[in-house]
Amino acid sequence: MLLMMVFLSLYQTVEHGFPHQPSALGYSPFLRLMAIGTRSGAIKLYGAPGVEFMGLHEENNTVMQIHFIPDQCQLVTLLDDNSLHLWSLKQHSGASELREEHRFTLKGVPEDYCNRRSCELVEALREHPKNPDQILIGYSRGLIVLWDLQNNKVTHHFLGSQQLENLYWQRDGSKFISCHYDGSYTQWPVSSDNRHPEPLENFVPYGPFPCKAISKIYWQTTKNGLPYIIFQGGMPRASYGDRHSISVVHGSQQIAFDFTSRVIDFFIIFSSEPTAEFDDPSAMVVLAEEELVVIDLKTAGWPAVHPPYLASLHCSAITCSHHVSNIPLKLWERIISAGSKQNIHYSSMVWQHEDGTVRFWDASGVCLHLLYKLSTVRVFLTDADPNDNMNPLGEDEWPPLRKVGTFDPYSDDPRLGIQKIYLCKYSGYLAVAGTAGQVLVMELNDEDAEHVVDHAEADLLQDQEGYRWKGHEKLKTRDGPVRFEAGFQPFVLVQCQPPAVVTSLALHSEWKLVAFGTSHGFGLFDHQQKRLVFVKCTLHPSDQLALEGPLSRVKSLKKSLRQSFRRIRRSRVSGRKRRGGSGNVQEANAKFDQDTLQEMELAPVQRKIEARSAEDSFTGFVRTLYFADTFLRDSSRHCPSLWAGTNGGTVYAFCLRVPPAERRMDEPVRAEQAKEIQLMHRAPVVGILVLDGRSNPLPEPLEVAHDLSKSPDMQGSHQLLVVSEEQFKVFTLPKVSSKLKLKLTALEGCRVRKVTVANFGSCKTDDYSENDLAVLTNLGDIQIISLPFLKLQIRYPCIRKEDVSGIASCVFTKYGQGFYLISPSEFERFSLSTKWLVEPRCVVDMPEVTSNNHVHKSGMENAVRKSRETQCSSSPLGTSVNNSRSDTHGDPIGILFQKFRKVFWCLQTSASPTCDEALLTSLFNKQFSCQEYT
């Protein structure tokens, strides 16, 4: 119990990545906070880097609109079930939290009133920038009226000839601009003299041919007199009907930014000071369906800038992930080419993608930062052009399109997909392996270089008769020298034959060896001498499925994961809308999840331990590879060794003879099979570990040489831990006799999916820590098992057992944290350790109330921001906050009622403003009285 209290607890800490299926965008220049709502009912707030808040509507319906209440730490959300929700940022336990305060469902209007929609639907509502008692109401047929809230009457009529889409006031309130369905926009004057003004100007920016609707528009004033006109849509329908564009026009400059996915919404960052005379826009923030794009409007050429968060992790489909803890400062600086940073716990996530790229992310804090992008495409001859998505602007093109964004879900060649990776943080060696059996070994180089990549083939079938590969061909390689940018540069390529997916990978940088495995066998390669050491075929004669390849009969995992995500989301949303009851939703999801399990050819969840036949499919599939310096032949001499575990419950052990450093290039590395272990029930082997004489796991290669770990105890007897899907078993070495075991699988059908050794430190003292096994099961549970006695310490439910994709994507860190995909674009981060936590803990302080409304108090430009990141406090980086509405402060219902009463009426009734005042008053009082909010 002491261990559990001091070391262990499960925390769901933060979500990394881009929100899945965003549906709404909001921005508060007062708070300097941006809000994003999703189709699953989530709402997320972002401020300075590290400032994040999250809320979830109980209804899980689509968030349609988000509106910040001016000068308050509050916002209102509108869902597609016609409900309004009031959220507040309030302090609790030293940090601000986003809480839902109230909700209200908008009801329909009387049936006899519905027939009065002579002007059709209300399309836009805009409050006068200088007078909150005046509001523009725009109707879909083109009529626009200026409504006086004080006197409940129309003061101006503006009659448009085209179907209205949206409105926008100019800063001084003397003009406004309307945009229309035919791709045009119109500027209108507002004066006290003329109650029925004519338009000043009408523009069709991409005419004269039929154009798409302009759905949103900004008119931003500047000091030099030339306004910025920014609008969404308006492109010619015939040629550009499928484009997702936002155009920026400033004098003679004009660019149509072409986004890689549908534009959800956008806003402009401009001067929010009430006394400022001009808007002076500085940036455009665009929320697309798959990424956030920021355009710098101050810099010549209007370049895109990288936002500090909301990274599009899934710009190409994620195929696997890898975590590296405690990266040495020297390697870190070489990767990011940055200055010295002291006293930081460097941690990196490495994600591999379907398009053959490897991306390195700084995962040491709340926000993920892209450190480095590596592409393996240059080594191969493919039709893929890495610059296809970033074509420069053509000077003579019209419309002047420029592609922006990084999202690209299509891979020209699925064989490029990266499946396994291994990074040695001490030597700078990197090994990546792909879908077509390619294994690349790379070395970090600080300068650009041009060299030939050496090739070697590893025939895992060893020319045995009766075997014929039916899958995809290997990738063709480039002849001659290839130019590589500074960073990780490949110097040797090992091509497995047949070119099946590489299923396991191990690198030993001290011995200069790399091991690789597929569904047909495994091999060992000496990357210093660039020579194949040996191959071992593990294919059973009856296993024909392994010869068909992942791109033929057997679906690749990444495709199954993507399909699972789509169907899960569709099932959740449609199920809730159709049924409305949680029980029915759970039944629908359960049925879908069972279909998903069958689709991925996984065994049922509920089953007993049963022996498997050697003729079962994929028994030769190599699940794990492991290097160890241990006692394999006798108890007096230890030697390098390679261990391999297969899907059929077989463990192979090879003795290796690695020449000393002075003869390393002259003598070959030799290997000889020494042991073969067959588990009784032939359960797949998912992990292999050797414990030294003190029952500690062997250190990583070069870890002792860098004084970061104690030398292993080579005096006492070593132990071998073999983890299968069904049990943990400890053997003594070198005799390989069974010592103890822990059966995991029982009638509940629990099976091991992922296992790693994690170091758990005490949150009370730095003097003590211990190594345990962190285990993820197919039920989504995480179990902590002690070493070497294999005692279950604690069990936590972490991932839903139906979430096959989340379980398959889970990655543990060396210090008890973990990541798993909760959508194709988001990783959920969790921690099992009470010592190491990365979570946003932020404070938004409200300044004192001033008597002078709309005047910001001096010295209140920044609020306090505290972020708890791996026991480190960040410096204050603020979000500007203020409170200038003392009359409604502390009464959220009053704020909601007073601020949005005009919106409620217009959205619900869509009525003509010429209706008589008595009817409007009675309707308003009936539908939106304060009592209905309680």
pLDDT tens digits, one per residue of 849-868: 343 333 332 222 223 233 33
pLDDT of residue 573: 43
Confidence of residue 715 (pLDDT cuts 50, 70, 90): confident
Mean pLDDT, to the nearest integer, of 460-488?
A: 87
Confidence of residue 562 (pLDDT cuts 50, 70, 90): low
Instruction: Say if CB 829 and CB 821 are below 8 A apart.
Output: no
pLDDT at residue 599 greater than cutoff 60: no
Contacts of 458 (CB under 8 A, 6+ apart): 494, 495, 496, 497, 516, 523, 525, 532, 535
Residue type, 574: S
pLDDT of residue 248: 97
Closest CA to 630 of 660, 655, 652: 655
Chain centroid to CA 914: how far? 50
Contacts of 534 (CB under 8 A, 6+ apart): 523, 524, 654, 671
pLDDT at residue 516 greater than cutoff 90: yes
Instruction: Say if CB 562 and CB 637 are below 8 A apart.
Output: no
Confidence of residue 427 (pLDDT cuts 50, 70, 90): very high
pLDDT of residue 706: 86
DSSP-derived secondary structure letter, 323: E
Mean pLDDT, to the nearest integer, of 426-446?
A: 94
Whole-number Å distance between alpha carbons of 216 and 243: 16
From 113-117, 578-582, 669-673, 817-821, the region with the lowest mean pLDDT:
578-582
What tens digit of pLDDT does each residue of 169-188 get? Answer: 999 999 999 999 999 999 99
Measured between alpha carbons, how far is residue 190 from residues 129, 170, 175, 198, 343 in Å? 13, 10, 5, 10, 60
CA dihedral 139, 141, 146, 150 (to 10 degrees): -50
More confident residue, 764 or 874: 764
What tens digit of pLDDT does each residue of 6-59 get? Answer: 566 777 888 999 999 999 999 998 888 999 999 999 999 998 888 899 999 998
772: its two tokens? 């345990």
* Paired strand residues for 229: 219, 249
What tens digit of pLDDT does each residue of 292-345 get? Answer: 999 999 999 999 998 888 988 888 888 889 998 888 888 888 887 763 343 344
Confidence of residue 455 (pLDDT cuts 50, 70, 90): very high
* Paired strand residues for 627: 642
More confident residue, 452 or 597: 452
- pTM, to two decimals: 0.81
From 33-37, 274-278, 579-583, 686-690, the region with the lowest mean pLDDT:
579-583
What tens digit of pLDDT does each residue of 84-124 get? Answer: 999 999 888 888 899 999 998 877 685 555 555 566 788 99
Mean pLDDT, to the nearest integer, of 763-777?
A: 85
pLDDT of residue 187: 96
* Region of residue 286 (phi > 0: left; psi between -120 and 50: alpha; otherwise: beta): beta
Mean pLDDT, to the nearest integer, of 644-661?
A: 95
Helix, strand, coil in percent for the chain, rounding step 5: 10, 40, 45
Whole-number Å distance between alpha carbons of 525 and 106: 68
From 155-169, 808-822, 831-845, the region with the lowest mean pLDDT:
831-845
CA dihedral 325, 328, 331, 332 (to 10 degrees): 70
Confidence of residue 396 (pLDDT cuts 50, 70, 90): low
Q: Helices 582-599 and 557-579 sit at what angle, rounded to 10 degrees?
A: 160
Residue type, 439: V
pLDDT at residue 387 greater than cutoff 50: no
pLDDT of residue 889: 32
From 11-15, 282-286, 574-578, the region with the lowest mean pLDDT:
574-578
pLDDT of residue 873: 26
Measured between alpha carbons, how far is residue 851 from residues 54, 74, 719, 854, 883 in Å? 32, 20, 75, 9, 10
pLDDT at residue 908 greater than cutoff 80: no
pLDDT at residue 930 greater than cutoff 70: no
Residue type, 9: S
367: its two tokens? 């926000």
> 231-245 burial by CB neighbour count: b if 16+ within 10 A, else e?
bbbbbbeeebeebbb
The H-or-E segment that residue 903 falls in is helix 892-909
Instruction: Say if CB 331 and CB 360 are below 8 A apart.
Output: no
Average pLDDT, the chain: 80
More confident residue, 913 or 388: 388
Whole-number Å distance between alpha carbons of 861 and 838: 27
Instruction: Say if CB 827 and CB 15 are below 8 A apart.
Output: yes
pLDDT of residue 615: 57
CA atoms within a 13 Å half-sphere pointing along the CA-CB vector of 15:
21
What tens digit of pLDDT does each residue of 129-168 get? Answer: 999 889 999 998 899 999 998 888 899 999 988 999 999 9
The H-or-E segment that residue 330 falls in is helix 329-336
pLDDT of residue 850: 43
Whole-number Å distance between alpha carbons of 530 and 493: 9
pLDDT at residue 922 greater than cutoff 60: no
pLDDT at residue 369 greater than cutoff 90: no
